[in-house]
Amino acid sequence: MIVKNKKDGAFSIEYADGDARAGILETSHGQLKTPFFMPVATQGSVKSIDPGDLEMIGSKIILGNAYHLYLRPGADVVSKLGGLHEFMSWDGPILTDSGGYQGFSLRSLRKIDENGITFRSHIDGSTHFLSPEKIIEVQGKLGSDIMMPLDVCSSLHEEEETVRLGIKRTAEWLQRSLDYKENSDQMLFGIIQGGISKELRKESSEITTSFDMPGYSIGGLSVGEPKAKLYEIAGFTSRLLPKRKPRYLMGVGSPEDLVECVGRGIDMFDCVLPTRVARNGALYTRDGRVNIKSARYREVDDTFDIECDCYSCTKFSTGYLHHLYRAREYLAYRLGSIHNLRFMTRIMNEMRQSIMARSFDEYRTEFLARYSITDESARMDQRKK
Amino acid sequence: MIVKNKKDGAFSIEYADGDARAGILETSHGQLKTPFFMPVATQGSVKSIDPGDLEMIGSKIILGNAYHLYLRPGADVVSKLGGLHEFMSWDGPILTDSGGYQGFSLRSLRKIDENGITFRSHIDGSTHFLSPEKIIEVQGKLGSDIMMPLDVCSSLHEEEETVRLGIKRTAEWLQRSLDYKENSDQMLFGIIQGGISKELRKESSEITTSFDMPGYSIGGLSVGEPKAKLYEIAGFTSRLLPKRKPRYLMGVGSPEDLVECVGRGIDMFDCVLPTRVARNGALYTRDGRVNIKSARYREVDDTFDIECDCYSCTKFSTGYLHHLYRAREYLAYRLGSIHNLRFMTRIMNEMRQSIMARSFDEYRTEFLARYSITDESARMDQRKK
């Protein structure tokens, strides 16, 4: 079951268990085992984390953002400094997002028309026009292994016709991206939009898969819809996509989201949550997310999470981690981020193992039975963007 | 020339070159080569740096602050969590400052009388009375290798009689500290005060050295006096102290201060400057301090400092470091701090070598001829406290 495409890398599914899949994705910077989670290095650095930390964490691929890097330091600067891999001192694969999501999230700062997105820079207010071609050019200079085309991401409150126009533009921009793309070392995925409407997701999937891309992204989810709806639409869309291509659910998510969505056939994830909530003191455990700043941890001499093998848990006591957060020491943010990213890596590895052992359902059931989702953690998830 | 004192550790001078000395200081957590520089871990963490970083940097001893740790997390909490070494996961020696300096710098928050210092906490405004005995008790619980007694640090604008009263109190408090001290694994130093008056420094040195302590600190300098005065008083006081005891110049300083003061017989230094200025983007080089945020570094693909062997210089390009600072990434603060602390460690090691080779004067002359001290860097030094 190997789809070999010399031009665009290759994806092979080694095991499947229900809708869940364990595969191998070939990139210009090495082989990746799916499913995987990508830490987010928006501006060319996973916040408070360095390449050595990523190695300890076991991350094999990271995500950068073309829009942010275009604005600062500029794609030409990154290119002069050897491309994004050399710039960051990261030898592994990199996926770059296009900036389509920023066209959604920085709503007050943009205008979209058929030619592209006009942004006002969040850094200095300067105006920038980003076309599908420009975004491919930027990602070419960055030299990422997997590129995203410019897309139109709709909000939950959009009229059906507006969402449909977004789907149409996203497809037209994909065509323009393909026409413009030159570098054969870089994979380009197609992006499915369509909000929370199954009908529109179906339309977007049909038009996008007609391009026969090396992989497909599901965008426009985790933008405020209920979790049940996120899972339903992710699962529905996933099943519309070709089995033999990798499926990337953009911007998702929390640990429970990963478990739910691997079960629905998703292979790739990215999210700022693990590092962002870590900076607020929210650390993942098998029992759910806990607030390390809580007074109950002040005198705890034990390891924070005895089930965790990360640097923070094996080197320091719970009481020390608590103190670093209370004292607002920079080290807190790094140690918390290492822990949460290691947690994500570990559950992805475990899911892969369970798929290979044909026991994914048991894994999912056990994980979700134990992992408690509190109102507080759900609220923090909503604030993530 | 070994002064062995089982109770209080031991100091031996291996080489001397003019007033400069190269020695060995024995502590409960191992042997230290002098002269040395101590990174500052005020609240139990060298800002943005972890124990693994300190090992890479080559730091052998760090400094904690009894006053800060007493307030948060509390000496009893640190003690329950195994003492300061285990709390921080740091196996090397630790020196703790007493809080006397905070009695000076947090002027609006304190009242001093003959019994001790009454502070209002800078964290929650609560009132705390710290006596000489209490400060020894706190440092006993922290378990530092070298303790400082509570002292009275005078400002430059004090009347002579006020400074003299401070000297008298500092000596009385040293006696009370000695009477109270029980733990024989912990060295207690005596502190010389006296502002910028040679007469008062002489009085303070005479009364303090009469206690025959295992080491002596020179406090109350680098508080706003001109650099020439700092060097003059440090040198004058240093020569009043017993040759066979280690001499610690508290809170000093910049790279040029270290070179100047090793030449005046100082063995030990600590300062927040290397990490603080690093967080502002000021990085040390042989040619002086430079601002990595300057636009001229934007596209520089080379190593920031080709003479430096630190992690930041060997792993990343100048342009990437510049970008991290411009983008306000947390990683910038860590990489800059690693560089500056490594710079301090390297010049201390070089000074030791030059003393052993009887070429310290050449080293000093060469270092100072090349190291440019700009008005900007002098202003930043002044803001350090």
Element (H, E) at B171: helix B160-180
Kindly report the number of other CB atoms within 10 A of residue B228's CB atom.
9
The reported pLDDT for the residue numbered A77 is 98
pLDDT in tens, A188-201: 999 999 999 999 99
Which one of the listed residues A151, A257, A267, A270 is annotated catalytic?
A: A270
pLDDT of A370 over the 60 cut = yes
pLDDT in tens, A58-116: 999 999 999 999 999 999 999 999 999 999 999 999 999 998 888 778 777 788 999 99
The mean-pLDDT minimum among B8-17, B187-196, B341-350 falls in: B8-17
pLDDT of B62 over the 60 cut = yes
Q: Are B373 and B380 in contact (CB under 8 A)?
A: no
The reported pLDDT for the residue numbered A6 is 40
Q: Are A333 and A48 in contact (CB under 8 A)?
A: yes
Interface of A with B (CB under 8 A): 43-45, 47-51, 72-73, 77, 80-82, 86-89, 298-299, 301, 315-317, 319-320, 322-324, 326-327, 329-331, 333-335
The reported pLDDT for the residue numbered B373 is 83
ipTM confidence score: 0.95
**Residue B97: active-site member:** yes
The SS3 of residue A195 is: coil
Mean pLDDT of B194-215: 97
Task: Give the Cα separation of A312 and A334 in Å (integer).
Answer: 9
Look at phi and psi of residue B254 and say left if phi exceeds 0, alpha if psi is from -120 to 50, else beta: beta
Chain A to chain B Cβ contacts (< 8 Å): 120
Mean pLDDT of B152-178: 94
The reported pLDDT for the residue numbered B301 is 97
pTM of the model: 0.95
Q: Cβ separation of A334 and B50 shorter than 8 Å? A: yes
Tell me the helix, strand and coil percentages in chain B, rounded to 5.
45, 20, 35
pLDDT in tens, A105-153: 877 778 899 999 999 998 999 999 999 999 999 999 999 999 999 999 9
Chain center to CA of B88: 18
Token pair recorded at residue B265: 């017989």
Q: How confident is the model at residue A312 (pLDDT cuts 50, 70, 90)?
A: very high
Task: Please give the backbone phi and psi of residue A380, each rounded to the nearest 5 degrees, phi first.
Answer: -65, -35
Task: Give the Cα separation of B58 and A257 in Å (integer).
Answer: 43
Q: Are B34 and B264 in contact (CB under 8 A)?
A: no
pLDDT of A224 over the 50 cut = yes
Residue listed under structure tokens 């109270």: B180
Closest in A77, A319, A329 to B81, CB measured: A319
pLDDT of B4 over the 60 cut = no
Q: Cβ separation of A47 and B329 shorter than 8 Å? A: yes
The C-alpha angle with vertex B144 and arms to B68 and B125, in degrees rounded to 5, equals 10
The reported pLDDT for the residue numbered A101 is 84
Q: Cβ separation of B50 and A330 shorter than 8 Å? A: no
Residue listed under structure tokens 């062997």: B309
Element (H, E) at B247: strand B247-249
Mean pLDDT of B57-66: 98
Mean pLDDT of B219-240: 96
Query: For the purposes of burial, counting CB atoms within 10 Å of the CB of A280, is it exposed (0-12), middle (13-18) or buried (19 or more)?
Result: middle
Considering chain B, tell me which residue range(s) the CATH 3.20.20.105 domain(s) occupy: 2-277
Nearest Cα neighbor of A192 from A157, A144, A242 is A242
Specify the CATH number of the domain A36-276. 3.20.20.105
Mean pLDDT of B265-273: 98
Q: Which of A40, A276, A304, A323 to mutate to test the interface with B (most CBs of B within 10 A)?
A: A323
For CA atoms A369, A374, A378, A380, the dihedral sign is: negative
Tell me the helix, strand and coil percentages in chain A, rounded to 5.
45, 20, 35
The reported pLDDT for the residue numbered A377 is 59
Residue listed under structure tokens 């031996």: B12
Q: How confident is the model at residue A384 (pLDDT cuts 50, 70, 90)?
A: very low
**Residue A305: active-site member:** no
The reported pLDDT for the residue numbered B9 is 55
pLDDT of B16 over the 90 cut = yes
The reported pLDDT for the residue numbered B7 is 42
* Residues above pLDDT 70, as percent of chain B: 95
Q: How confident is the model at residue B24 (pLDDT cuts 50, 70, 90)?
A: very high
The reported pLDDT for the residue numbered A105 is 82
Task: Give the Cα separation of A85 and A143 in Å (integer).
Answer: 8
pLDDT of A1 over the 50 cut = no
Kindly report the number of other CB atoms within 10 A of residue A320's CB atom.
29
Domain covering B2-277: architecture: Alpha-Beta Barrel (3.20)
Considering chain A, tell me which residue range(s) the CATH 3.20.20.105 domain(s) occupy: 36-276
Q: How confident is the model at residue B377 (pLDDT cuts 50, 70, 90)?
A: low
| Between A1 and A294, the higher pLDDT residue | A294
* Amino acid code (one letter) for B169: R
Q: How confident is the model at residue A177 (pLDDT cuts 50, 70, 90)?
A: very high
Nearest Cα neighbor of B34 from B48, B18, B23, B45 is B23
Looking at chain A, which residue has its C-alpha nearest residue B332?
A48
Question: How many Å lie between the alpha carbon of B276 and the closest alpha carbon of chain A?
Answer: 12
Question: How many Å lie between the alpha carbon of B53 and the closest alpha carbon of chain A?
Answer: 11
The reported pLDDT for the residue numbered B381 is 58
pLDDT in tens, A314-333: 999 999 999 999 999 999 99
Q: Cβ separation of B87 and A317 shorter than 8 Å? A: yes
| Between A2 and A36, the higher pLDDT residue | A36
The mean-pLDDT minimum among A46-50, B125-129, B378-382 falls in: B378-382
pLDDT of A5 over the 70 cut = no
Q: Which residues of A touch B326 (CB under 8 A)?
A: 72-73
Which one of the listed residues B53, B145, B257, B270 is annotated catalytic?
A: B270
Closest in B87, B316, B330 to A89, CB measured: B316
Closest in B50, B331, B335 to A331, CB measured: B50
The reported pLDDT for the residue numbered A385 is 41
Closest in A47, A317, A323 to B330, CB measured: A47
Interface of B with A (CB under 8 A): 43-45, 47-51, 72-73, 77, 80-82, 86-89, 298-299, 301, 315-317, 319-320, 322-324, 326-327, 329-331, 333-335
> How confident is the prediction for chain A on average, in pLDDT?
93
Angstrom distances, CA of residue B38 to CA of A98, A139, B141: 46, 45, 21
Nearest Cα neighbor of A276 from A49, A115, A64, A59 is A49
The reported pLDDT for the residue numbered B380 is 55
